[in-house]
Amino acid sequence: MDALASLLYEVRSDGALFSRNLVAPPWSVRFADRTPLTLITMLRGTGWVVPGDAAPVALGGGDVAIVVGSEPFSVADCADVPTAPLYVLHGPDHCTTADGEEISDELVLGVRTCGNSLDGPTVLLTGSYQVGGRVSERLLSTLPRVLVVRHDGRPSPILDLTALEISRDDPGQQAVLDRLLDLLLLATLREWFTRPEADPPGWYRALGDPVAGKALRLIHDEPARPWTVTTLAEEAGVSRATLARRFSDLVGEPPMAYVTGWRLARAADLLARTEATAESIARQVGYRSAFGLSVAFKRVYGTRPSLHRAAAQGTSSESRAGAGADG
C-alpha cells in the first residue's frame, strides 16, 4: 500500500452530512457545522467559496473543491457574500436562518435538498464529515484551506452517481453516500496532486522514486519491523548513504524520523479507536514494550498514551451524547 492509500484509508466518512442546493441569485449558504473536511461540487452554474480567513475561490460548472478546516465558510454567487445567507448548515438535520431560526418549509425542496428555486440556474452539491486521528492529520496538514480541481470536460461517473443517490431515501442510504464521498475525496485529491498548481507533500512526490518510494511503502505496510536505515537500504537495493540522501531530499525528513512519526500516528489512532492494550499496540507499531512506546509518545506528543486514550475516548463519548441529545 502506498503512502496516499495508507493515509486515505484512515480518512473515511461515517455519517456524512450531504446537501443539494438549488438556488437562484442572489444567494449564499453558510457552513457552520465545523467539520474538518467539506467537499463541494458545482453540478450546474458558478459560484465562489468564501472562507473568510483566505481569499475567495471561484468555482465553475463541474469543478470540485475541498475546504479544509473547521472554521465556518460560505459558498455564494459572488465573492462579496450577501449579508444574510439563505440558510446556515449546522449539522445533520439542523439548518437555520442567519438569525438562528429554523428554516421555513418553502426552503426545503426535497430529501437533503434546500434552496430558493426548484429550477434555479445553480445546483450545488456538498458533503462534509468528521475526520479525526493523527494519521488523518498527516494528510490534512499538507492541504491548503481551499483546493479546486477544475472540470476538464471528461465524464465523472462517481459524481453522477452521487448526484443521483443524494435525493434517495432508501434503506442503507447513509452508508451508500458515505462510500461515494470517500470515492469523490480520493479521486479529487489524486487528481489535484498531479496538477501544476498543486504543491504536493514530499511523501507524495517521493512515491514515484524507485528508492524513496519503495522505502515509504515498506514503512507503511510493515511498521512493526525493526527498521533501520541499513535494513531499508537493503530492501531498496541501494547503499545506506544513498537511501538516507534520497529519502531526506524527497520526503523532507530522514528515514527514521519518518518511521517514528508513522508509528506514533498509528499508535495514537489505535489508542483512540480500539480497546487493545498499550503493550499490544506497542508491538503492532514497532516498539518492544509499552514503556518504549510511552517514552516516544510523550516526547513527540507531550502526553502519555493512557492520557491520550482517555481524552480521545472521552471526547467521542461526549460527541455521541451530544448527537443523541440533538436527535
| Residue 119 contacts residue 3 (beta carbons within 8 Å) | no
CA distance 263 to 258: 9
Specify the range with the lowest mean pLDDT, choosing from 28-32, 78-82, 121-125, 185-189: 78-82
CA distance 164 to 167: 6
In angstroms, what is the C-alpha Rg of the chain? 22
The overall average pLDDT reported for the chain is 84
SS3 category, 250: helix
Q: What is the pLDDT of residue 214?
A: 94
Kindly give, in sequence order, each residue whose CB lies less than 8 Å from that of residue 97, ignoring residues fewer than 6 positions away: 84, 87, 88, 103
Which pLDDT band, with edges at 50, 70 and 90, does 21 fall under? confident
Q: What is the pLDDT of residue 85?
A: 86
Q: What is the pLDDT of residue 10?
A: 60
Specify the range with the lowest mean pLDDT, choosing from 30-44, 129-143, 245-259: 129-143
Q: What is the pLDDT of residue 43?
A: 86
Q: What is the pTM of this model?
A: 0.77
13 pLDDT higher than 80: no
255 pLDDT higher than 50: yes
Highest mean pLDDT out of 30-44, 170-184, 278-292: 278-292
pLDDT, greater one: 159 or 265: 265
Give mean pLDDT, residues 109-136.
77
Specify the range with the lowest mean pLDDT, choosing from 82-86, 192-196, 218-222, 267-271: 82-86
Q: Which of 257, 256, 258, 281 is nearest to 269 (CA)?
A: 281
Q: Beta strand pairing status for 87-91 and 108-110?
A: unpaired
113 pLDDT higher than 90: no
What percent of the chain lies above the pLDDT cut of 70? 87
Q: What is the pLDDT of residues 34-63, one digit of tens each?
A: 888 899 998 889 999 999 878 899 999 989
Q: What is the pLDDT of residue 109?
A: 63
| Residue 126 contacts residue 22 (beta carbons within 8 Å) | no
Q: What is the pLDDT of residue 327?
A: 33
Q: Beta strand pairing status for 113-115 and 17-23?
A: parallel
76: which 3 cell numbers? 455564494
